[in-house]
Structure 1
Amino acid sequence: MTELHAVTADGERVSAVLRRERLEPGAVDLLWSAAEVWRLFPATGTTGTAAMDALLRAWRAELDHESPGEDSACVVTWPSHDAEAIRAFLDHGLAPVTALATRTGPPEPGGHPEVTVRQARPDDFPAVLDLVLEVFEYSSLVALPRRGDAAELVAPRMRRKLEQDTGTVWVAEVGGVVAGLADCSWVDVTGDAGAAELLPPGSWGYLNNVGTAREVRGRGIGRTLAAAAHAYFHERGAAGTYLYYNPPNPLSSVFWHRRGYRPLWTIWEVRPASLLR
């Protein structure tokens, strides 16, 4: 880790911690992350745009001593409602690639007479894997990196989860054919690390991957799956549910807001890292 220090035009000193991360080949995180990441943790006080601008300039100068490759990124996770910082991020070439959104209300009415939701079984693996890959393929158009080995990265985890029968993976059937997936899990937010850096304490339901087959979109399948997941976690006392979505995605950015989700943290990013201005 490296400490960055900067001074605004008004003479106020601000600082940040810069952490460099490398992912090994075969890491599941490569599905949504660059292989080499420079991650900034700013401490800007109350100086808003000016402070963030000064830190981003210092960050750019620090990168001049590095040699980022093509599979690299500069990343900052920042409160979604801090409008003053947004101006600085945009000016320096960062884009709002991912948002963490939460939902804490009661489950919404759901269900569709043509859609049957049930827990996924091990023999659903081929259909489930196809749906997961379809989600990643679409996301690669609007936010995430395109990975040729996506199937190899995601398949072991998905197969293991179905075999363990966690009860938090559902499929939606239309006419007896699997047409949608909700891959979820419980996350206990405790201490001051991991999810606790972003969420209040408690047991949360995490909607990791919810997708509908392309040819049957618009028929209420995703809405029915989301309602089933929300009801499951609500009935078991979850503090709420959360997920990550891509603001540039014209499907998920609308769908999840309609389900009652609101962005809490936004992950700003520029790829490759050398494009930081």
Structure 2
Amino acid sequence: MSGYVARVRHDDPPDGSAEFDLLVGSVAKRWSAVDPLLPRPSLPRLTTYPLLTVSDEEGRPVATGTMRYSWYQPGEVGRTWGMPDQHWLTPVVGGPDPEGALDSLLTSWRDQLEELPSGTGSESAALLSWPARDICGVRPLQRHGLQPFTVLAVRQRRRGVPPSLPPRDVTIRLADFHDLAAVVGLLMEEHRYGEHFGGVFIQPETAEQTRRVVARALSRPPSWIWLAERRGRPVGLVWVSPPERARWVAPLVSTGPAAYVGYGVVADEERGQGIGTALVDQAHQALDTHGVGATLLNYAVMNPLSGPFWSRMGYRPLWTTWEVRPALALR
């Protein structure tokens, strides 16, 4: 938008700069007003990634965005989750007109993507995460061609449905190493279902990679993987990473300690019978007993089952990841 000036920095913003402090302060004020579970924003510091800044007519910064690029080679685990070439922007947008500042930041990001020599072909994506309740960002994100793709949802301690028992002939227990094949089988079923929403791309290596990850989890008792069985046949699971195994989610929420639900799976023919609810209840009881303050999980916006189910379990959107494919489809 007119009146804003963008530049790319390859040096850190000045430590203690009053103008950048004002930017972060304005973002913190808006975030705390719209969602108390959002963390306090911080000004990004450069490592190997450039920083895009937007300033007003007086030269005061009103937005910054760290530009990060990830490329997953054939055979890497990342090829299963999203596009191989991923261009991320981590925005910090403030000032009196955050909608206009974000609009200018996205325009400048598009200009930077156009100048890249590679990595913006048909297997690329441009992505950013934006607070779900910070609705001032919705219109500029849409104008630039981005679409809401995944939700990071949060549950505070003791939120959700009342305790639930599984169906009479279903038992729930913690999985151990003897359950390796059963857990991998259920996760691969979940991966195949997730392919329908464009966030999972099963590779020839995916089953073996999944087996290695599951084997590692099952070798660390307790596994934090609850397995549901109907007369000895595996029919569902929920897999939780407790705070010591989910440190990456702690900066995304204002309260803690924070845990992460990596998977909640019920076999297709067993859905709608209360198995998922009973599994999650078991996990929640353990999390609440361990004093976990917030539990987070991701689901695809287009998944018709996940959003309604996790809402009933006490989760609500905290962050939304917006995406456009290919990256140069960003307007």
TM-score relative to the length of structure 1? 0.90
Distance 1:96 1:10 in 2: 33
Gaps of 5+ in 2: 1-48
Distance 1:11 1:145 in 2: 43
Q: Secondary structure of the residue that 1:60 maps to in structure 2?
A: helix
Q: Who is 2:93 aligned against?
A: 44
Q: Who is 1:93 aligned against?
A: 145
Gaps of 5+ in 1: none
Q: Who is 2:8 aligned against?
A: none
The structure with the largest alpha-carbon Rg is: 2
Q: Who is 2:292 aligned against?
A: 238
Higher strand share: 1
Q: Secondary structure of the residue that 1:250 maps to in structure 2?
A: coil
Distance 1:80 1:189, change over 3 A: farther
8 Å Cα contact 1:170/1:225 also seen in 2: yes
Equivalent position amino acid for 2:190 in 1 = V
Q: Who is 1:225 aligned against?
A: 279
Deviations 1:191-217 (A, max 9, x none): xx8323202353323211110111111
1:145 aligns with 2:197: no
2:174 alignment partner, one of 116, 119, 138? 119
8 Å Cα contact 1:234/1:240 also seen in 2: no
Deviations 1:66-98 (A, max 9, x none): 231333221111111011101111121212111
Identical columns (%): 35
1:71 alignment partner, one of 120, 123, 137? 123
Equivalent position amino acid for 1:117 in 2 = I
Q: Which has the higher contact order (CA 8 A, sep 6+)?
A: 1
TM-score relative to the length of structure 2? 0.76
Distance 1:103 1:270 in 2: 28
Q: Secondary structure of the residue that 2:243 maps to in structure 1?
A: strand
For structure 1, which segment, 165-174 or 207-216, has the greater mean C-alpha deviation from structure 2 after superposition? 165-174
Q: How does 1:115-264 map to 2 (within 5 A)?
A: 115-149=170-204, 150-188=206-244, 194-200=248-254, 202-264=256-318
8 Å Cα contact 1:188/1:202 also seen in 2: no
Q: Secondary structure of the residue that 1:202 maps to in structure 2?
A: coil
Distance 1:229 1:262 in 2: 17
Distance 1:162 1:188, change over 3 A: closer
Q: Secondary structure of the residue that 1:158 maps to in structure 2?
A: helix
